[in-house]
């Protein structure tokens, strides 16, 4: 999280500079409507790459990593279209695309996952990430 915090501070400084705010001005109001926080931006990009991989818009080596969830019988996971999240033994392995991509995709609501086109997915993801948790 240390690296994400540093990236967030850089983004906050950029927002202050672009908006002409003072060095110690609070940036939440400046960036809330236009920029996603760094952690959410990473999730946005992961979900976008997963969509591309599943629809043949990404390189073949990424598409091969994204296996659909195939369970015997009828399960909630297979009905929702969840993807397999690989298990790893190390913390470093848990950062791999084969783990983080499907995990991020599985957290999305079905209405976002079932977007018919890349443009509609981008719109749905933006709406999903900018909607505050109530």
> How many domains does the chain divide into?
2
Q: Tell me: do 45 and 30 sit in the same domain.
A: no
Q: Tell me: do 51 and 15 sit in the same domain.
A: no
From CA 11, how far away is CA 3, in angstroms rounded?
Answer: 12
Q: Tell me: do 20 and 65 sit in the same domain.
A: no
CA distances from 112 to 27, 32, 57, 63, 78 (A): 29, 21, 18, 19, 17
Share of the chain above pLDDT 70, in %: 84
- Is pLDDT above 80 for 1? no
- Is pLDDT above 60 for 89? yes
Question: What domain range is 124 assigned to?
Answer: 38-130
Interval 55-88: pLDDT, tens: 888 888 887 776 554 434 445 555 566 777 777 7
Q: Are the C-beta atoms of 112 and 126 separated by less than 8 Å?
A: no
What is the pLDDT, as a whole number, of residue 75?
A: 53
- The label of the residue with tokens 């279209």 reads 81
Q: Tell me: do 42 and 106 sit in the same domain.
A: yes
Q: Tell me: do 46 and 109 sit in the same domain.
A: yes
What is the pLDDT, as a whole number, of residue 116?
A: 93
pLDDT averaged over every residue in the chain: 80
- Crossing angle for the helix pair 118-130 and 38-54, to the nearest 10 degrees: 150
pTM, full prediction: 0.76
């Amino acid at each position: 999280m240390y690296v994400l915090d540093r990236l967030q501070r850089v983004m906050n400084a950029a927002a202050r500079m672009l908006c002409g705010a003072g060095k110690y001005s609070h940036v939440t109001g400046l960036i809330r409507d236009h920029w996603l926080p760094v952690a959410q931006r990473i999730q946005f990009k992961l979900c976008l790459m997963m969509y591309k991989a599943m629809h043949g818009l990404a390189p073949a080596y990424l598409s091969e990593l994204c296996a659909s969830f195939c369970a015997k019988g009828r399960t909630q996971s297979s009905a929702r279209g969840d993807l397999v999240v690989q298990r790893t033994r190390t913390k470093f392995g848990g950062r791999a695309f084969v783990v983080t991509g499907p995990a991020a995709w599985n957290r999305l609501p079905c209405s976002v996952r079932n977007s018919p086109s890349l443009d509609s997915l981008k719109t749905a993801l933006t709406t999903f990430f900018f909607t505050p948790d109530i």
